[in-house]
Chains A and B, each alone.
Chain A
Amino acid sequence: MESTLHPPGMRLSCLAAGIAAWTRVNKFCCLLVFLAASLLGSFLNAQELDERAIRVAYVYNLTKYVDWPSAGNQLVVCYVGDGPMGEALEKMLAGKTSESRLIRVVLSPNDDDLDKCDVVYVAYSSPLKVHATLDHLRNKSVLTLGDSVSFPKNGGMIGLVRVGQQVQMIVNLDAIQRTRLKISSRVLNLATIVHDGPEARN
């Protein structure tokens, strides 16, 4: 993920040494802080902490605040994409109930099965694949979720976006209003509202 993009200890200690030289306050305490930083920086390794759990918890909560036009006994949550999010969804959601509907998680469904989903979590790294999925689901009463800023702008309904040290919702109201889904104002009050970008309007 993003953490592999930075060569670790080198930059950290360069930054540390740079600041120390710049401030010219090379007191011992200052040095200790940066020495510790240099050492800690070398233990770098990709680790995702609770971010995925927070996203799954959002998915679970959102199923309570969205009304589907025809709600059956089951609530089908589908996952398409190439990241590790699907595993987390299955592990934490499958078998739970939401508004007395039993949640079933389907990983990587084919196009026909995609139509039977109530929720589709789209996590492709390729924008082309994201577009194709969204085109396929356009105007259908399927709640589409993604995790990038561009997702709701390109016609997805809700982006669960990492913002600093939080995960926030970005809702594309146009995309929801095109379908028969109804979303509670409780969600809208908490979310950043955006509208279709030029690509999604076509």
Chain B
Amino acid sequence: MKYGRLILVAEFVACLFSGWTLNAQSQSDPGAMSLSIEELTHAKVFSASKHLEDSRQAPSSVSTITAEDIRRYGWRTLGDALSSLRGFYTSYDRDYTYLGVRGILRPGDYNSRVLLLVNGHRMNDDVFDNAFIGTEFALDLDLIDHIEVVRGPSSSLFGTNALFGVINVITRHNVSGTSIELSGDTSSFLGRTGRLNTTIQKGQLSGIFSGSLYRSAGQPRLFFPEFASPATNNGWAVDVDGDRFEHAFGDLQYGNFRIHGLYSTRVKIIPTGSFGANFNDPTNRSTDSRAYVEMSYHRAVSLGDIDIRGYYDWYGFLGIAAFGGLTPPNRLVGKTFGGAHWVGTEASLNRQIGRHRIIIGADYEHDIRILQENDWVGQPASFVDRRQPSRAALYGEGELNLIPKLSIRLGARLDWFSLYGTSLSPRIAIVYSPDSRTTVKYIYGRAFRAPNVYENYYSDGIVLEAPTTLLKPETIGTNEVILERGLSSWLQVTVDASYNHLQDLIDQVPDPTTGLSHFVNVGRDRGRNLEVELEAKRTSGLAVRASLSMADTSNSTLLTNLENSPRKLVKINGTVPLSRFFFGALESRYISAQQSYQGTRVPPAFLTNATLSTGPALRDWEISASCYNALNNGRFDPAGPALEQPEIRQDGRTFLFKVSRSLSFEHSTK
């Protein structure tokens, strides 16, 4: 090995220094005493700045969704949970679920403008930058301890994709010793899920292993007026909405070492005839598989907290679709494959210097292989593209607490991509707390997203062609002012105003010469947002959150409003203990009208969900019953460029019933 000698030198230096230890020092932090009990349980906000702190002091607008929230509200997918937050909304085209943030959801984008993490591990893949939030998300919601949602550009710490925010899903830790948990649910359209969860604990060794299966037949009959002709079954898609996944997850900790990983595969039958495929053909389906394994090491030493990790990731997409009619000889079955294997490593140091704090880090990632391929069954591949890109980054953030009530954060990250060169992402945040109940934050941040290989190189000759010139990274600059104030011990108000400026946005646009579309860096978009949120928590257990988000987005070249951009979101949700045994939860969301990719008006949507669940008094049993879209309102979500339909009708009233039982085995403490 070329660097073998260097490593030996490092070992030698390490040995020299290993005798140099300083006295253990205890740092008592009087600031902790001012935290409420809720804040203590979430005292660590890892995503925002990678050290233990109160979310009010985080240099961003942070929301936390807890396991308790997920259980009480009966949320089935990550998208359900996220769309309860101010400024977030989702769209489902009966294939994938798309996430809109602050009025921006670009048609044809697979959530590449938010960064999704599981325990700090990047889930956006290296082909499409997918951040999966529907049933395609690789983790069971039952395994989640909490979700930290950081709004605004976070590339200064996390690099590409962190344009509109970072969603860090933190999985449950083993707090039940050695145990087995069984859980099952049944829902509308023959939906059923089974999950087995085991935890082990022996001395310093602690682990969680979980596996689950989900099956759903989907809507038996779906009507799409765009296909209402005798050749396409008069617009009826019959028994072609099935959905299934298999998940496995493991997390093992020994002292300061941790190894965690997951495997997931999800298959969705596509009823919409997207990408020009035959309508009402059960062959059409998307299969997404995702796996990773990560080893990490955390240590608090005299220099600060050190985190080191290394990982291997895999993602594979297989799309199968039939074209040319339902019967031979015209019928042709096409396969699209997009897959990648990659490895990476990251090291960071978080150090307290008096009242100040710094974090520095570096990461490196290499794609062993990215392959995109199209085949017609029985013929040689019609399109093959192979890439092996790399990327590396250096980052740092300093927290300066010069005077008691004012904290200043300065951070920057330099990213290098073998395909696109370098990108610098700075951020500055000023956090002012005039008293213990009030916080004012000002944040300026710049974030970027590097084009992915799908956007730059993919071509199928049916819908998409490759761009004629290589795409460059798109960037966002955000100015944001946040006021958080406790009106009383149980009522808090948050007002958040932000201005986003997007440049070189990568958008899918039609090419009039070929009739296909391609990705191109187009013009500039901007968005102005105002959000107001009230949150009440009474000691009785009543908790209510209400928010209003207003977004005004436009394309500054064409001076038109953006597609998929509702101007208003209104949300209210609350939980209340109904008796010693039961909790009730109710949520309502209103999304104002949107303009679809095809220019049509998608009417406003109103959704109400209700869930009844059992509380801790029922010991090892947990039972819940949910009714979604309880008022059976007709709702449509805008569709993307791959679909003939401008909008897709969403489910009416549906139900879910769920039971969990945990069996705990006493472990020896001796």
Contact = CB atoms under 8 A, between A and B. Distances in A.
Given A2-B204, A19-B345, A38 B13 contact: yes
Contacts of A62: 37
Contacts, number: 252
B362 A33 contact: yes
Given A36-B347, A48-B26, A149-B175, A61 B666 contact: no
6 contacts: A45-B21, A45-B302, A46-B24, A58-B40, A167-B40, A198-B666
B24 A45 contact: yes
A61 B2 contact: no
B3 A50 contact: no
A190 B37 contact: yes
Given A35-B10, A166-B44, A47 B300 contact: yes
Contacts of B27: 48-50, 53
Contacts of B346: 33
Interface stretch (A69-77, A106-114, A132-140, A181-189): A181-189
Given A21-B1, A38-B11, A199-B666, A50 B17 contact: no
A188 B614 CA distance: 13
B347 A92 contact: no
B40 A195 contact: no
Chain A, interface SS category: helix
A186 B29 contact: no
A92 B33 contact: yes
Interface of B: 1-3, 6-7, 10-11, 13-18, 20-33, 35-38, 40-44, 46, 52, 68, 145, 170, 173-177, 201, 204, 255-256, 295, 297-303, 305-306, 308, 310, 312, 343, 345-347, 349, 352, 362-364, 366, 390, 392, 537, 539-541, 577, 615-617, 619-620, 664, 666-667, 669-670
* Closest CB pairs A-B (n = 8): A9-B14, A42-B17, A193-B616, A163-B173, A45-B21, A53-B29, A57-B32, A42-B14
Contact of A25 (B305, B306, B343, B616): B343
A192 B306 contact: no
Contact of B37 (A40, A46, A61, A192): A61
A42 B306 contact: no
Interface residues of A, number: 87
A81 interface: no
B310 A19 contact: yes
A88 B30 CA distance: 10
Nearest to A195: B619
Give the interface SS of chain B, mostly helix, strand, loop or mixed. Answer: mixed
Interface string A1-36: 011011011101101110111010111011111111
A48 B29 contact: no
A56 interface: yes
A54 B32 contact: yes
Interface of A: 2-3, 5-6, 8-10, 12-13, 15-17, 19-21, 23, 25-27, 29-50, 52-54, 56-58, 60-62, 65, 84, 87-88, 91-92, 96, 127, 148-150, 153-154, 161, 163-170, 173, 184-190, 192-195, 197-199
B256 to A, nearest CB: 7
A46 B327 CA distance: 72
B308 A12 contact: yes
A184 to B, nearest CB: 6
A182 to B, nearest CB: 12
A53 B11 contact: no
A188 B541 CA distance: 9
Contacts of B615: 188
B3 A26 contact: yes
A149 B255 CA distance: 15
A21 B308 CA distance: 16
A54 B43 contact: yes
Contacts of A3: 256, 299-300
A194 B664 contact: yes
A177 to B, nearest CB: 10
Contacts of B6: 31, 35
A150 B206 CA distance: 13
A167 B52 CA distance: 11
Contacts of A36: 347, 362
B444 to A, nearest CB: 28
A186 B540 CA distance: 7
B255 A27 contact: no
B364 A27 contact: yes
Contacts of A26: 1-3
Contact of A150 (B17, B305, B669): B669
A56 B15 contact: no
B364 A165 contact: no
A30 B364 contact: yes
Contact of B306 (A6, A40, A127, A194): A40
B303 A43 contact: yes
Most B C-beta atoms less than 10 A away, residue of A2, A27, A164: A164
B28 A153 contact: no
A2 B4 CA distance: 32
A65 B538 CA distance: 12
A80 B484 CA distance: 40
Contacts of A34: 7, 10, 345, 347
A49 B1 contact: no
Contacts of A39: 10, 13-14, 17
Contact of A29 (B15, B312, B364): B364
B10 A44 contact: no
A184 B364 contact: no
